[in-house]
């Protein structure tokens, strides 16, 4: 099946169709169920579906790995302080790409070039490619970034929960729950 690369036209067409049936203009910015979910950006996961939610019921915060980065915690704090959420869920998942990497690998791949890497035989690598001037375009700037990779799934969830809970701007009455989403079964597995 050929890849459809006319993504801008497709997005505009889809939005026109959505606009015709849009009925959410009366929803409040405050989530009805007063929950926030921090989870991965993996496209196999639909937080609204796996948590039984509808639009307007929760805040969904997504990043690579679903990690409690400074920016994710900033969003959670805003979610509570200004929009009233009281229950926060940290949900990582099985077969996460962030568990196949570490900071060193990411830095080296970016230094090699800035284009998309491939996962082959259990290893990430840059395919052989050369730019028009016969040089590889990369940068060592990726070596100075903490990428929040995952070495142990249970530990990443519990560590992120502890990090959020101990943040100076997170009230002690916020409930923080941790789960691992199984991408093969759709199950949420609790993490203590």
Per the annotation, where are the binding residues for Zn(2+)? 40, 42, 93, 96
3-class secondary structure, 124: strand
Q: How many CB atoms lie within 10 A of CB 47?
A: 20
* Tokens found for residue 161: 């929960």
Residues near 107 by Cβ (< 8 Å), separated by ≥ 6? 140, 142, 143, 144, 145
Q: Which positions make up the binding site?
A: 40, 42, 93, 96
The per-residue DSSP string of 47-70 comes to HHHHTT--TTSEEEEEEGGG---H
Q: Tokens 């959410």 correspond to what residue?
A: 24
- Spell out a b/e string for 97-106, using b for 16 or more CB atoms within 10 Å of the CB, else e: ebbebeeebb
Instruction: Determine contact, residues 149/63, Cβ cutoff 8 Å.
Output: no
């Amino acid at each position: 099946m050929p890849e459809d690369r006319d993504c801008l036209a497709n997005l505009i067409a889809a939005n026109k169709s959505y606009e015709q049936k849009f009925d959410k203009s009366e929803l409040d910015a405050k989530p009805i169920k007063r929950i926030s979910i921090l989870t991965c950006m993996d496209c196999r996961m639909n937080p609204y579906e796996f948590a039984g939610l509808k639009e307007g019921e929760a805040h969904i915060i997504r990043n690579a790995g679903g990690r409690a980065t400074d920016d994710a915690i900033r969003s959670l704090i805003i979610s509570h302080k200004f929009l009233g959420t009281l229950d926060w869920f940290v949900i990582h998942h099985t077969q996460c790409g962030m568990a196949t990497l570490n900071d060193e690998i990411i830095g080296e791949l970016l230094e090699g070039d800035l284009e998309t890497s491939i996962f082959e035989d259990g290893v990430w690598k840059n395919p052989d490619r050369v730019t028009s001037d016969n040089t590889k375009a990369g940068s060592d700037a990726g070596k100075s970034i903490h990428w929040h990779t995952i070495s142990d799934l249970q530990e990443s969830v519990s560590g992120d929960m502890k990090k959020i809970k101990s943040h100076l701007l997170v009230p002690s009455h916020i409930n923080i729950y941790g789960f691992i989403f199984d991408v093969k079964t759709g199950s949420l597995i609790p993490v203590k």
